Amino acid sequence: MEGKAAVLEGKAAEQDGAVTELKGTASDRYEITAHAPGPTGHLPLTDDLLRNAPSGDLFGMSQNVGMGWKPGELNGKQFLILSTQGGIRNEDGSPAALGYHTGHWEVGLLMKAAAEELSSHGGIPFAGYVSDPCDGRSQGTTGMFDSLPYRNDAAMVFRRLIRSLPTRKGVLGVATCDKGLPAMMLALAGVPQLPGVIVPGGVTLPPTDGEDAGKIQTIGARYSNGELSLEMASELGCRACATPGGGCQFLGTAATAQVVAEALGMTVPHAALAPSGQPIWTEMARQSARALMHMEKQGMTMSDIITDASIRNAMVVHAAFGGSTNLLLHIPAIAHAAGLTLPGVQDWIQVNKQVPRLVSALPNGPVFYPTIRVFQAGGVPEVMLHLRRLGLLDVSVPTVTGMPLDHVLDWWESSERRHVMRKQLQERDGIDPDTVIMSAELSKHLGISSTVTFPTGNIAPEGSVIKSTSIDPDVLDEHGVYRHRGTAKVFTTERAAIRAIKTGGIQAGDIIVLLGRGPSGTGMEETYQLTSALKHLSFGKYVSLITDARFSGVSTGACIGHVGPEALAGGPIGKLRDGDLIDIVVNRSTLDGSVNFVGTVGMEVTPEEGSFILAQRSFHPNMRADEALPDDTRLWAALQAVSGGTWRGNVYDVDRIITALEAGKKALGWH
């Protein structure tokens, strides 16, 4: 017993020591104050306020002065600044705690600049935050299962924050990256009775000597295939993000979302793709604050800005930029949030057949300029000037400047800003701005094709998406058509597919099929690990990829995604097997395409016969929802499926969901 007591005493002493180490011993920490005199002065109350104002308005005043606002300045108009800020920056810009990505690391500086502008005009700024994940950081991990579903969740929280400040007169939305900025646009579109302005968080700079943030994500695949040394991989990876803030340096989802926000008229002119942390970037926040106050004064709201016409303008600008295919999910969702007509596949096809691609940038080329060069060449308004000349825009639509788009473009065309930016690019950097943002005539002369094609066939009866403009010209025939007939190598997890690429299991001529990775399987994960590896490996341009998952905006090549129906919803892609013969045809000139199962080598069949064979087959035995799929994402998958699925933007259509629930309750006999 004595030995046991000694052991217990020893453990107790050890625990006391651990607690002391955690809590510390400084006695001055124990000195606390139990009351304080409170702010001096008087709230600007009136008889009418006390008799008729909600108690929340009155208590809000008490809290405002409690946080330090001067009582005599409480009658100003209140404006809400929402952002996706992440991490904790010290005053000198060094990290106290890291953010998820550079895109939201510096946006607090934009918020501060906007807040100062609002208060200098007598306004009272409020701020709220909903940080966002990084698709690059979560590539190849189960974190990707939360990526697309996050957008809907964040948009709902943003809208709840807007409604939870009943005294706000307008909203500034400060955001940058793949899901945070689309969520912010959905949030503002969902409050049509309020004025709102988007403040894009800008872009990070590329390294002076190195690789961009898209290519750098392939160092594992290139090293594994003997195409990159360990030392070079380490060195290049270290400097890829050359400045600490802003979205990536290519026209991926983050940059394209900024472009779309401006194309919708939701930003001040020449806002998208500004260099994070630089004076022109912070001034854009001040301009946005002034625009918001002007909108409020003029009685303009989001319902004036986001219309069927501005949605179509955004689709046109998306095509002209060669933007991310992820915006095919986000633009319909913005339209849904605004209560507008949702663009369908035929609308996208029509727009892309009409609109030439005018921007030469990463990842599409033909010259791989980073996004900062697009900004210097004139950005969105410069592209819109070309589109206006072609008659492809509705220039009567209002913008947050208070002026119609036509007037904004007139200003831009003769502005000092445009002249100086383009001159600097030419004289200081030796880059002709007209080779970054081209005329339609130059684009045609260079043989640049329109942005996306929507192949159909017995593997994708509801359609699919390919960024056809980025297929390597070396694998096209003399008519600009991509043809690939080859055997399938079928995978049911991205991990298995990337392992095959890294270990020699994929060769030139193969067709990779990745199935069961749509909304129901993984939350429609983004498979940039695969597409980027194929782009940057020497044999990759001779490999095709077909999947019911989606791709990063920086993806290129013969990669066909968004296959519908998804495998787990009964789509025929879920019935493919190793060795199946697949025929892919994509015409970059006419934007027509097909993807069909046509039997096996030596036993080829027609696409119609292939449809019959697939209908008789069972589903792939290894196809199932990922075992790590969170319940949150399972719920999202069910709700967006009832709401119309991927081709309606993965939205929550409340009326359709309630109708389905009521029908289900009735069928189950629930009361």
For residue 366, whether the previous peptide bond is cis, meaning omega lies within 30 degrees of 0, is yes
- Bridge partners of residue 203, in order along the sequence: 247, 275
- Active-site residue, selected from the candidate residues 532, 544, 552, 643: 552
Helix (H) or strand (E) holding 11: helix 2-23
Cα–Cα distances (Å) from 339 to 266, 310, 666, in that order, read 17, 13, 29
CA count, 13 A, side-chain hemisphere, 461? 15
- For residue 222, what are the contacts with CB-CB under 8 A and spacing of at least 6? 228, 233, 533, 536, 537
Q: Vertex 355, ends 352 and 358: CA angle to 5°?
A: 115
DSSP state for residue 91 in the 8-state scheme: T
Q: Quick one: how far is CA 150 from the chain centroid?
A: 11
Query: Other C-beta atoms within 10 Å of 385: how many?
Result: 18
d(CA 404, CA 409): 9
Query: Encoding tokens for residue 630?
Result: 């969170």
Strands 124-129 vs 78-83: parallel, antiparallel or unpaired: parallel
Query: Other C-beta atoms within 10 Å of 234: how many?
Result: 11
Torsion region of 212: left, alpha or beta (phi above 0 gives left; psi -120 to 50 gives alpha) = beta
By the 10 Å C-beta count (0-12 exposed, 13-18 middle, 19+ buried), 298 is classed as exposed
To the nearest 10 degrees (0 to 180), the angle between helices 308-321 and 379-389 is: 100
Residue position matching structure tokens 């060769």: 507
> Do residues 363 and 559 make contact, with C-beta atoms less than 8 angstroms apart?
no
Query: Other C-beta atoms within 10 Å of 473: how many?
Result: 13
- For residue 98, what are the contacts with CB-CB under 8 A and spacing of at least 6? 87, 105
Query: Encoding tokens for residue 33?
Result: 């104050």
Query: Encoding tokens for residue 653?
Result: 């259509």
d(CA 591, CA 454): 7
User: Is 164 a known active-site residue?
Assistant: no
Q: How many helices (H) and strands (E) does the chain have?
A: 27, 14
d(CA 514, CA 494): 7
CA count, 13 A, side-chain hemisphere, 322? 31
Catalytic residues: 552
